[in-house]
Amino acid sequence: MNVLIEATALAEALAGDMPPLVLDCRARLGDPEAGERLWREGHVPGSQHLDMDRDLATSPGKNGAGGRHPLPSREAFTATLRRLGVTPGRPVVVYDDVGGQLAAARAWWMIARWAGHPDVRLLNGGLGAWQAAGGELPLGREPAPAPSDWVPDYRDDVLVEADEVFSGRALKLDARPAERFRGEAESVDAMAGHIPGARSRPSAENLDAHGRFKSPETLDAELPDADPVIAYCGSGVTACHDILAYAIAGRPLPRLYVGSWSDWITDADRPIAIGD
């Protein structure tokens, strides 16, 4: 499964007769306006902004149910995809610039895995790789694309809810930093620890020293050899990075517990584990 594109290949594709639709997914935790501002201050030519909080998530439910980044409704996400001109006949490339492309991985998962687009790729190395390859960064807004009328075929079988996580036999894979998994530190959520029986696979371990994804062979050797697998994190964003790593390795893809740890801890009856 070819889910990555290199900066040089993207530059060639953008200069071709049928350029891909490029989506800038940059975001900053705690600053909902940062993504669009960064996009206006310089972006891959022709790219459109895809907002983490407004487009790739909706507001949490009562008392935090559903986690910090629940999925938007199908209707809302379909409207977003149509506004951006997304169609199955045009390749899509997503990118960002933080933490190994966490928001872009969420966009890849939502467009490719959930909505069923056949050709979505992530820019390997993100905006930094684009700049290192000599790519231009035009300022300001890009012209709005012609809207589409695509009707995605959403797949709910790529998702799991808390009840299935609680009772199922699947391996639970936690994409958060190891210290959060062990409960030694918790900078975001109200409680520390992890889902009992889970294994730690911090998303940063999917990358090499240059912030690019490791080779398929290396990922295949490192990723837990289990089937089925459920990926989770703090709020269903970073977990998509682990799912992407499985795709690069050519493995069966984990399902996503979107609510993740921030949803798990909203029910006092769900157990919590500390340590390794």
Is the domain spanning 156-264 CATH 3.30.365.10? The answer is no
Confidence class for position 207, pLDDT limits 50, 70, 90: very high
**Cβ-proximal residues to 88 (8 Å cutoff; 6+ apart), any chain:** 116, 117, 118, 119, 150
pLDDT for 108-123, tens place per residue? 999 999 999 999 999 9
**Helices marked H in 97-158:** 102-108, 126-132
Residue 21, pLDDT > 80, answer: yes
pLDDT for 120-155, tens place per residue? 999 999 999 999 999 999 999 999 999 999 999 999
The domain locations on the chain are 4-132, 156-264
**Cβ-proximal residues to 8 (8 Å cutoff; 6+ apart), any chain:** 133
Q: Which residues are catalytic?
A: 233
The CA distance from 59 to 79, in Å, is 17
On the question of a common fold for 4-132 and 156-264, the answer reads yes
pLDDT for 142-199, tens place per residue? 999 999 999 999 999 999 999 999 888 899 999 999 999 999 998 888 899 999 999 9
CATH class (in words) of the domain with range 4-132: alpha beta
For all residues of the chain together, what is the average pLDDT? 95
Specify the DSSP class assigned to residue 61: -
pLDDT value for 99: 65
